[in-house]
Amino acid sequence: MSFTVRAGLRLVANAVIVAAFGVAAHAQGKNDVDPEYAKLSKLPNPYHLVTGWPTLPANLNDGKYVPHGHWGEVIRVHMAPDGNIWVLHRCFSNQPVSMASCFDRGDANPPLLEFTPAGKLIKGIGVGLLAYPHGFDVDKDGNLYVSDINNHPTILGVAAKNAAGVTLGQDVLKISPDGKVLMTLGKEGVGGPGTDTFDEPSGVAVGPDGAIYVTDGHGGYDDQFNNARVMKFSRDGKFIKTWGKRGPAPGDFQGPHDIFVGGSKGWVYVVDRGNKRIQVFDQDGKLITIWKQFGTPNSVFVDKDDNIFVGSGASGGKSAVNDRGIVVGNAITGEPKYFIPDPGDLTKMIDTGSSASGIAEDAEGNIYAADVGENNLRKYTKSK
């Protein structure tokens, strides 16, 4: 099945699921915003956008899908232990719509880019390792963890195979800062419901003890193996446990999209996007609480001071107004405190359903937001 057909089927499936859960859809062209989410948008915003950050060398991409010196789909961002910023993006692609791929993009389009705090590019790595990158984290030793949700043998009519003839995707790679693959979770190119396979692993997070957590089941609606779970592995890749299944019940998931482990409690925060909620667990998978006060969440990050940052929206791109933004709240109580409005122009976006698909914070409190919809990486600093 082609990416284009797959995207079309997903849109149909999404509509079915929305109807099944009784969620009122916002019609395109209407300016109606969910009243509860509208309350969030009225919260104070102590952050302001830093323009012109970072600097992208004009010769970094080949200009095939986006203009030279411009981003394609930016999916995740995380800090390195030394203070540099790692960005995961889809290799300066934005086509097919909502399904931009890294496959066969060449040396000028590395999916992982490292920047200094000043915004200077240091290096790019990962060429040829990923087809459709999605989840991302960096451990305390500076190693990178990247998930690949590609689940099709061909992309744009070409076999999605690496140099060894193996189909890319359905795995999580641990990569050194210089680009060497140190470990693979799952079976590359092979999907499944077992303890050694994934079906579209959407997010990855590394705990304080080095344990690896993966949200499995990105599609949420059309996954071949019906996966909708969290999987936990030891730091050396041995399977420990799994929890959750597809559904609306507490502890279940509908398209788990992102995951983060941290804060003073060391809790596991899971973006249960299809059910429009954040679910919070301990590291053994015991459900602690469910938060529905963040709109339709897309991404999650928790800092050392127990602030939670949620990339969110009200209508999932179905409104004519930009109702998207980053909600900042208390990571222990779930109480929202601030709202950083999304500055994007919906009329210029390829994908209007995502806001801040990845969020990170540096030691100075600056916020970084990966932006799939507007092909951008945003930096915010707190107003003094």
- pLDDT, tens digit (0-9, with 9 covering 90-100), for 42-72: 899 999 999 989 989 988 898 888 888 899 9
16, 60, 64, 93 from 68: Cα distances, Å: 39, 7, 8, 11
Tell me the pLDDT band of 236, cut-offs 50, 70 and 90. Answer: very high
Given the DSSP bridges, would you call strands 158-159 and 121-125 parallel, antiparallel or unpaired?
A: unpaired
Q: Is the pLDDT of residue 101 over 50?
A: yes
Tell me the pLDDT band of 353, cut-offs 50, 70 and 90. Answer: low
Contacts of 362 (CB under 8 A, 6+ apart): 79, 83, 85, 117, 368
Q: Is the pLDDT of residue 123 over 50?
A: yes
The CA distance from 54 to 44, in Å, is 26
The CA distance from 301 to 325, in Å, is 14
Given the DSSP bridges, would you call strands 112-115 and 85-89 parallel, antiparallel or unpaired?
A: antiparallel
Query: How wide is the angle at C-alpha 23 spanned by C-alphas 320 and 301, nearest 5°?
Result: 75
Helices (H) and strands (E) in the chain, counts: 2, 26
Cis peptide before 201 (omega within 30 of 0): no
Place of tokens 């667990």: 281
Under 8 Å between Cβ of 10 and 221: yes
DSSP secondary structure code for residue 114 in this structure: E
| Burial status of residue 64 (CB atoms within 10 A of its CB: 0-12, 13-18, 19 or more) | middle
The CA distance from 66 to 73, in Å, is 10
What is residue 160's predicted lDDT score, i.e. its pLDDT?
A: 93
Under 8 Å between Cβ of 227 and 216: yes
Q: Is the pLDDT of residue 26 over 90?
A: no
Q: Is the pLDDT of residue 12 over 50?
A: no
What is residue 219's predicted lDDT score, i.e. its pLDDT?
A: 75
DSSP secondary structure code for residue 40 in this structure: H
Q: Is the pLDDT of residue 25 over 50?
A: no
Tell me the pLDDT band of 305, cut-offs 50, 70 and 90. Answer: very high
The structure's pTM equals 0.90
- pLDDT, tens digit (0-9, with 9 covering 90-100), for 191-231: 999 999 999 999 999 999 999 999 999 976 556 788 999 99
Kindly report which listed range (125-129, 316-320, 345-349) carries the lowest average pLDDT score.
316-320
The predicted model gives 90-110 an average pLDDT of: 88
The CA distance from 296 to 311, in Å, is 8
Q: Is the pLDDT of residue 383 over 90?
A: no
First to last CA, the chain: 52
Which tokens in the block code for residue 214?
A: 């993966």
What is residue 352's predicted lDDT score, i.e. its pLDDT?
A: 66
3-class SS string, 297-349? EEEEEECCCCEEEEEEECCCCCCCCCCCEEEEEECCCCCEEEEEECCCCHHHC
The CA distance from 377 to 371, in Å, is 6
What is the identity of the amino acid at 10? R
| Burial status of residue 373 (CB atoms within 10 A of its CB: 0-12, 13-18, 19 or more) | buried
Q: Within 13 A of 272's CA, how many CA atoms are on the CB side?
A: 28
Rg (the chain; Cα; Å): 19
Domain around 100: 3-382
What is residue 314's predicted lDDT score, i.e. its pLDDT?
A: 67
CATH of the domain at 326: 2.120.10.30
The count of domains in the chain is 1
- Torsions phi, psi for 109 (to 5 deg): -130, 60
CB burial of 232-265 (b: ≥16 within 10 Å; e: otherwise) equals bbeeeeeeeebbbebeeeebbbbbbbbbbbbbee
Q: Is the pLDDT of residue 122 over 80?
A: yes
